[in-house]
């Protein structure tokens, strides 16, 4: 008996898990307590033979342990970005519903109840990708329980995904994006407060940066700092190398277009402490300062709301061809479209955009007929496939130059924009008869 209890306590050593199990007999009578101990020992041996867990634990206790592990890794900087999605799913959805259930007693029927509870809580069916994250988080909790001996693989319930596939986001044509950038420049000056004007001014550069690099807005730009950018001298040119410190797939590298130099220089000029040095000097310093900061030094938490306000004010929430809403991710779509028209392969874009070549092909395979549209339509019969591809490439190059020019006010001369066109013009002028 325990000192402050009138009931006998049962202690049982289980060799299979090398642990002492304890429970109250529920009685103060020694004979009844002995009978209870024998019955419990028989149940434990039966559970061992059937492969059932010998210790039951509430879901909440295990889930909190898993959540804490993910939070610690994120805080230490060693965790993957998706870990944050896991602990949020555990804290906001899994623990509130499953918390008081014994983790070894969660059945497919209870899983079905969870789906209905979540539908009521949110008011709509979550997308497949979100439900997939919840299922993965639940799997992580079950894995922990199995490892600790609180349940067996045999008792792991099956899960389902009842969500619909996420719809593709609305897109921008180059003409539309140019019109938006023109509007945003004017809109930035109309802000009622200095803080609003500063944020809109930075948005203009952010839009051009995302559209010109193809980075994932928010996910891959939030922690981007000057130290993550370097100018690398190659044999015949200098390239802008960017290391994205975090993202959907973790850290990754990309090579930015030459035109992005002007965006970076404009961002440098916005930051008071760097106004007296050149961009080259700033990059060489490897400064541990955030790239996207306003004139007052404040870093916006997000560009989602201000971009939404901007496209709403410009009456460009959709493209009038379908009802798909535009978002910052539409700028990434624009980048992919332009680069494919420029002649990039899906494999080249895989490295540049951090998305598999097969997924890119599924999304943008419709562009291949467009690149030979003139031949398919029977127009310009003298043009061969190579010439048409070059035409598309030149247009795509000019598009990004124009977009950057609108955002920065800096436009490259013809030789910098298109060396081939400049050379052709020079040769033409040399051949032309001199006027008297």
Domain of residue 37: give its range. 8-50
Q: From 88, 121, 155, give the residue that closes a domain.
A: 155
Residues 188 and 320 in one domain: yes
Q: Are residues 186 and 143 in the same domain?
A: no
Q: Running DSSP on this structure, what letter comes out for residue 234?
A: -
pLDDT for residue 303: 93
Q: How far apart are CA 132 and CA 138, in angstroms?
A: 10
Query: Do 351 and 415 sit in the same domain of this protein?
Result: yes
Tell me if 164 is assigned to some domain.
Answer: no
Phi/psi at 233 (5° precision): -85, 120
Same domain, 374 and 352: yes
Note whether residue 287 is domain-resident.
yes
418 part of a folded domain: yes
Same domain, 18 and 149: no
How many residues make up the chain in this entry?
A: 436
Report, in angstroms and rounded to the nearest whole number, the Rg of the chain calculated over CA atoms. Answer: 31
Closest to 87 measured CA to CA, from 63, 109, 110, 108: 63
For 126, the token pair is: 């979550």
Q: Which residues of the chain have pLDDT under 70?
A: 1-4, 14-19, 21, 40, 44, 46-56, 161-169, 248-249, 320-323, 366-398, 400, 410-436
Judged by DSSP in three states, 71 sits in: helix
Tell me if 422 is assigned to some domain.
yes
Check whether residue 182 and residue 313 sit in a common domain: yes
User: pTM, whole model, 2 decimals?
Assistant: 0.58
161 belongs to a structural domain: no
- What tokens appear for 307 in the block? 């971009």
**pLDDT tens per residue, range 313-357:** 999 988 766 667 889 999 999 999 888 888 888 898 888 888 888
Q: Where are the alpha helices (DSSP H) in 314-366?
A: 329-342, 346-353, 357-364
Distance CA 221, CA 4 (A): 60
- Cα separation, 58 vs 104, whole angstroms: 8
Q: Are the CB atoms for 355 and 347 separated by under 8 Å?
A: no
Same domain, 395 and 259: yes
Same domain, 374 and 234: yes
Looking at the fold, whether 142 and 229 belong to one and the same domain comes out as no
**Count of the separate structural domains present in the chain:** 3
Do the domain assignments include residue 31?
yes
Residue 166 falls within a domain, yes or no? no
Same domain, 71 and 192: no
Task: In whole angstroms, give the CA distance from residue 214 to residue 253.
Answer: 12
Query: Same domain, yes or no, for 15 and 96?
Result: no
What pLDDT score does 169 carry? 64
Reported as type and span, the H/E element at residue 198 is helix 194-213
List Cα–Cα distances, 253 to 34, 192, 237, 239, 328, in angstroms.
Answer: 68, 39, 19, 13, 21
Separation of first and last alpha carbons in the chain: 121
* 162 is a domain residue: no
Tell me: do 248 and 320 sit in the same domain. Answer: yes
CATH number at residue 188: 1.10.443.10
- Say what the pLDDT of residue 393 is: 54
Taking residue 250's Cβ as centre, other Cβ atoms within 10 Å add up to: 13
Q: Which residue has the tokens 């400049």?
A: 422
Alpha-carbon span 399 to 174, nearest angstrom: 7
Task: Spell out the residues 6+ positions from residue 120 whose beta carbon is closer than 8 angstroms to its own.
Answer: none
Distance CA 88, CA 138 (A): 12
For 16-69, the DSSP string reads: TTTEEEEEE-S-S-HHHHHHHHHHHHHHHHHHHHHT--SS--BHHHHHHHHHHH
Question: At residue 239, what are phi and psi to the nearest 5 degrees?
Answer: -115, 155
């Amino acid at each position: 008996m325990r000192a402050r209890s009138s009931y006998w306590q049962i202690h049982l050593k289980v060799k299979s898990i090398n642990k002492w199990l304890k429970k109250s007999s529920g009685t103060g009578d020694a004979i009844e307590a002995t009978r209870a101990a024998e019955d419990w020992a028989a149940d434990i041996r039966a559970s061992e033979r059937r492969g059932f867990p010998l210790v039951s634990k509430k879901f909440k206790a295990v889930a909190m342990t898993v959540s804490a592990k993910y939070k610690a890794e994120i805080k230490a900087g060693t965790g993957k970005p998706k870990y944050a999605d896991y602990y949020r799913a555990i804290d906001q959805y899994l623990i509130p519903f499953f918390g008081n259930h014994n983790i070894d007693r969660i059945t497919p029927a209870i899983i079905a109840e969870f789906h209905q509870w979540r539908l009521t809580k949110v008011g709509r069916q979550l997308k497949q990708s979100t439900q997939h994250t919840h299922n993965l988080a639940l799997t992580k909790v079950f894995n922990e329980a199995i490892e600790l001996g609180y349940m067996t693989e045999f008792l792991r319930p099956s899960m389902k995904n009842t969500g619909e596939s996420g719809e593709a986001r609305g897109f921008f044509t180059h003409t539309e994006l140019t019109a938006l950038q023109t509007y945003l420049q004017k809109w930035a000056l109309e802000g009622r407060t200095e803080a609003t004007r500063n944020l809109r001014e930075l948005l203009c550069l952010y839009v051009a940066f995302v559209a010109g690099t193809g980075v994932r807005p928010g996910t891959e730009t939030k922690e981007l700092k000057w130290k993550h950018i370097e100018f690398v001298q190659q044999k015949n040119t200098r390239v802008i190398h960017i290391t994205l410190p975090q993202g959907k797939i973790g850290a990754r590298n990309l090579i930015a277009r030459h035109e992005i130099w002007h965006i970076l220089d404009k961002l440098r000029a916005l930051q008071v402490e760097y106004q007296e040095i050149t961009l080259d000097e700033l990059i060489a310093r490897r400064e541990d300062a955030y790239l996207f900061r306003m004139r007052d030094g404040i870093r916006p938490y997000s560009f989602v709301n201000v971009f939404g306000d901007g496209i709403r004010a410009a009456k460009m929430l959709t493209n009038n061809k379908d009802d798909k809403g535009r978002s910052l991710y539409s700028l990434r779509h624009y980048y992919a479209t332009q680069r494919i028209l420029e002649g990039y392969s899906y494999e080249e874009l895989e490295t540049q955009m951090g998305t598999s070549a097969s997924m890119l092909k599924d999304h943008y395979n419709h562009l291949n007929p467009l690149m030979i549209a003139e031949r398919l339509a029977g127009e310009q019969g003298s043009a061969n496939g190579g010439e048409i591809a070059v035409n598309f490439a030149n247009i795509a190059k000019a598009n990004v130059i124009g977009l950057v020019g609108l955002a920065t006010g800096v436009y490259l001369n013809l030789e910098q924009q298109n060396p081939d066109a400049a050379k052709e013009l020079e040769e033409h002028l040399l051949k032309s008869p001199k006027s008297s």
